[in-house]
């Protein structure tokens, strides 16, 4: 167990490799109750969310969500988040545990729109069920077979799993299909036990990190931060080109002029464990550093996210200095894994 | 519960030693491999290298962390487990057997007296 954002979190239940494989091949689950869940209500809630997030909230219909960023005034990110439209005047948001208090304070400070913000984190728990078997399995054991199968990405299904009411969103952090289930605390343990009985493998933070790096997904504090441009991290696809929002001019400038460094992947030739802060070299010259690194069971080698000179092309041979030794690798797309 | 064979000597830093005449085989304990998680890379000294008690002689990298391995006793490396290069998971599955790290020729067998026996090591876990 390790301490994470004030929660005791398991790094692994069984083994990081076994857990990662379960999610790639069948179904695994993560207790992500530490992530914060907020509700926004008010006549001007849409206007407020358009102002404080980068993605087009107006594109959402009831029961849909989207990945987005809370921008700051300097072109950095307060957090990366998911916004869900429940009704025209009621939205939900899931934010990182590590930024929970910061986000709430930030949003309250920007709230000149009379929006009511309530924090439901302590009332509910959250379990992410992920893997090629996840959707079928939840559908088969729910009272909403068709809805579970037909929901769009980030779509919401409100249903019961073996009689337990859940608010399910078709999203996750592994590159696999699946749902994130929000459940009232009184039913959380029963839901977890039910899923264990259905053969869903409990997975810890170790596997979560491996799976998200393989899938090319950023982690706040590593690939995103208050003084880092999400454009450099490759998140331009969640930044609207048609609406106004906090810090817009910085995002436009980053898009127009490019950024000095850019987030790329590196695939090592060996099985070394790469850690944040390690230096990256091309032709003997330092070109950037590692933001995240894991051993990939899928690729059977070390893989990393690196912020390197934007001029460096994919396919360029490089080296990472791993505990005093130069390990050869190749600059590749940060999406190491893309499901079929 | 971690497996702690009765016939080995141990260190507080979770290495084990198996003595055979003037030779000593060294590895990391079952408890250590369990704490590290899946081991993916092992850096071993070359045959002929001298290792010295209390100093790091190798590195083990797991999916979770990188850890130095310290020499329980001093001596000259006569065998390094080449099998770990392609199958480092042997340190997880068979830490006291095929997952050993090195065999050394001891330079001072009296150093063994300062190591822990199985009961004393178990008491630390």
Put simply, the answer to whether A206 touches B64 (Cβ < 8 Å) is: yes
Report the interhelical angle of A45-52 vs A100-110 (nearest 10°). Answer: 120
Looking at residue A1, what is its pLDDT? 74
A31 and A174 both lie in a single domain: yes
A161 and A278 both lie in a single domain: no
pLDDT at A338 over 90: yes
Task: Give the model confidence (pLDDT) of A140-151 as tens digits.
Answer: 999 999 999 999
CATH for A275: 2.40.30.110
pLDDT, mean of residues A273-282: 96
pLDDT band with cut points at 50, 70 and 90 for residue B112: very high
pLDDT band with cut points at 50, 70 and 90 for residue A8: confident
Name the residue among A153, A150, A40 with its Cα closest to residue A88.
Answer: A40
Nearest chain B Cα distance for residue A23, angstroms = 16
Put simply, the answer to whether A271 touches B66 (Cβ < 8 Å) is: no
A228 part of a folded domain: no
Task: Give the model confidence (pLDDT) of A302-312 as tens digits.
Answer: 999 999 999 99
CB-based contact A310:A262 (threshold 8 Å): yes
Task: Give the model confidence (pLDDT) of B66-95 as tens digits.
Answer: 999 999 999 999 999 999 988 999 999 999
A265 and A190 both lie in a single domain: no
Choosing among A17, A204, A275, which should be mutated to test the B contact, i.e. which has the most B CBs within 10 A? A17
pLDDT band with cut points at 50, 70 and 90 for residue A299: very high
pLDDT, mean of residues A316-332: 96
Contacts of A53 (CB under 8 A, 6+ apart): A68, A69, A70, A71, A81, A83, A245
pLDDT at A2 over 80: no
CATH for A29: 3.30.1360.120
Q: What is the pTM of this model?
A: 0.92
Contact residues on chain B for A12, CB-CB shorter than 8 A: 37, 64
Ordered domains of chain B (ranges, CATH): 9-108 (2.40.50.100)
Which residue did the predictor score with more confidence, A7 or A31?
A31
Q: Give CA–CA dist B14/A200, Å, rounded.
A: 34
pLDDT at B97 over 80: yes
Put simply, the answer to whether B66 touches A206 (Cβ < 8 Å) is: no
Looking at residue A236, what is its pLDDT? 95
Put simply, the answer to whether B37 touches A294 (Cβ < 8 Å) is: no
A247 part of a folded domain: no
A267 and A205 both lie in a single domain: no
pLDDT at B1 over 80: no
Looking at residue A9, what is its pLDDT? 87
Put simply, the answer to whether B66 touches A210 (Cβ < 8 Å) is: no
Alpha-carbon Rg for chain A in angstroms: 20
A237 part of a folded domain: no
A203 and A304 both lie in a single domain: no
> What value of ipTM does the predicted structure carry?
0.81
Task: Give the model confidence (pLDDT) of A237-254 as tens digits.
Answer: 999 999 999 999 999 999
Contact residues on chain A for B91, CB-CB shorter than 8 A: none
Examine the fold and report which residue of A176, A210, A244 is the final residue of a domain before the chain moves on: A210
A276 and A168 both lie in a single domain: no
Task: Give the model confidence (pLDDT) of B23-60 as tens digits.
Answer: 999 999 999 999 999 999 999 999 999 999 999 999 99
Looking at residue A137, what is its pLDDT? 97
Q: Which residue has the tokens 């999203």?
A: A171
A55 and A127 both lie in a single domain: yes
Candidate from A11, A270, A271 with C-beta closest to B64: A11
A83 part of a folded domain: yes
A105 part of a folded domain: yes
Out of A8-12, A108-112, A184-188, least confident range = A8-12
Nearest chain B Cα distance for residue A122, angstroms = 30
CB-based contact A38:A95 (threshold 8 Å): yes
pLDDT at A107 over 90: yes
Question: Could you list the residue range(s) of the whole structural domain that residue A300 is in?
Answer: 260-333
Could you write out the three-class secondary structure of chain A?
CEEECCEEECCCCCCHHHHHHHHHHCCEEEECCCCEEEEEECCCHHHHHHHHCCCCHHHCCCCEEEEEEEECCCCCEEEEEEEEEEECCEEEEEECHHHHHHHHHHHHHHCCCCCEEEECCCCEEEEEEECCCHHHHHHHCECCHHHHHHCCCCEEEEEEECCEEEEEECCCCCCCCEEEEEEEHHHHHHHHHHHHHCCCEECCHHHHHHHHHHCCCCCECCCECCCCCCCCCCCHHHCCCCCCCCCHHHHHHHHHHCCCEEEEEEEECCCCCCCCCCEEEECCEEEEEEEEEEEECCCCEEEEEEEEECCCCCCCEEEEEECCEEEEEEEECCCCCCCC
A190 and A276 both lie in a single domain: no
Residues of B with CB under 8 A from a CB of A: 37-38, 40-41, 59, 61-66, 88, 92
β-strand partners of B19? B24
Looking at residue A5, what is its pLDDT? 78
Q: Give CA–CA dist B69/B15, Å, rounded.
A: 7
Q: Give CA–CA dist A245/A56, Å, rounded.
A: 10
A150 and A279 both lie in a single domain: no
Contact residues on chain B for A296, CB-CB shorter than 8 A: none
Name the residue among B80, B100, B88, B86 with its Cα closest to residue B63.
Answer: B88
A186 and A269 both lie in a single domain: no
pLDDT, mean of residues A155-180: 97
pLDDT band with cut points at 50, 70 and 90 for residue B114: very high
pLDDT at A334 over 80: yes
**Total of domains in chain A:** 2
pLDDT, mean of residues A102-130: 97
């Amino acid at each position: 167990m390790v301490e994470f954002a004030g929660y005791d979190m398991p790094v692994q239940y069984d083994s990081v490799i076994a857990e990662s494989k379960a999610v790639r091949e069948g179904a695994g689950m993560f207790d992500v109750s530490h992530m914060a869940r907020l509700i926004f209500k008010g006549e001007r809630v849409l206007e407020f969310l358009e102002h404080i997030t980068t993605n087009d909230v107006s594109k959402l219909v009831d029961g849909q969500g989207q990945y987005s960023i809370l921008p700051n005034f300097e072109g950095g990110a307060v957090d990366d988040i998911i916004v869900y439209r429940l009704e025209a005047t009621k939205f939900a948001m899931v934010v990182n545990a590590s930024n929970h208090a910061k986000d709430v304070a930030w949003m309250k400070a920007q709230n000149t729109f009379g929006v009511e913000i309530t924090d439901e984190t302590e009332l509910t728990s959250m379990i992410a069920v992920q893997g090629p078997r996840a959707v079928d399995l939840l559908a088969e054991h729910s009272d909403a077979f068709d809805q579970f199968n037909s929901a769009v990405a980030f779509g919401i299904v409100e249903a019961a799993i073996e009689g337990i009411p859940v608010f399910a969103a078709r999203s996750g952090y592994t590159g696999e299909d699946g749902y994130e289930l929000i459940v009232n605390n009184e039913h959380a343990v029963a839901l977890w036990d039910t899923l264990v009985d259905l053969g869903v493998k409990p997975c810890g933070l170790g596997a979560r990190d491996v799976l998200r790096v393989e899938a090319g997904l950023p982690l706040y504090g590593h690939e995103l931060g208050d003084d880092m441009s999400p454009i450099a991290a490759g998140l331009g696809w969640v930044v609207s080109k048609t609406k106004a929002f906090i810090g817009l001019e910085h995002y436009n400038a980053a898009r127009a002029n490019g950024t000095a460094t850019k987030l790329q992947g590196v695939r090592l030739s060996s099985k070394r464990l790469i850690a944040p802060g390690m230096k990256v070299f091309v032709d003997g010259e330092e070109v950037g550093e590692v933001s995240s690194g894991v051993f990939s069971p899928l690729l059977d080698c070390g893989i990393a996210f690196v912020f390197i000179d934007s001029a460096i092309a994919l396919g360029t041979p490089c080296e990472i200095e791993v505990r005093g030794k130069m390990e050869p690798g190749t600059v590749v797309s940060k999406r190491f894994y893309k499901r079929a | 519960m971690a497996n702690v064979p009765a016939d080995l000597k141990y260190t507080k830093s979770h290495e084990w030693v198996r003595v055979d005449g003037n030779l000593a085989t060294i590895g990391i304990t079952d408890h250590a491999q369990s704490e590290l998680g899946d081991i993916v890379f092992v850096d071993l000294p070359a045959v002929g290298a001298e290792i010295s008690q209390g100093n790091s002689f190798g590195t083990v990298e797991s999916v979770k962390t990188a850890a130095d391995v310290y020499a329980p006793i001093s001596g000259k490396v006569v065998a390094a487990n080449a099998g770990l290069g392609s199958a480092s998971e042997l340190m997880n599955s068979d830490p006291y057997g095929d997952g050993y790290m090195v065999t050394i020729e001891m330079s001072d067998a009296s150093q063994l007296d300062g190591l822990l026996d199985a009961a004393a090591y178990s008491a630390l876990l």
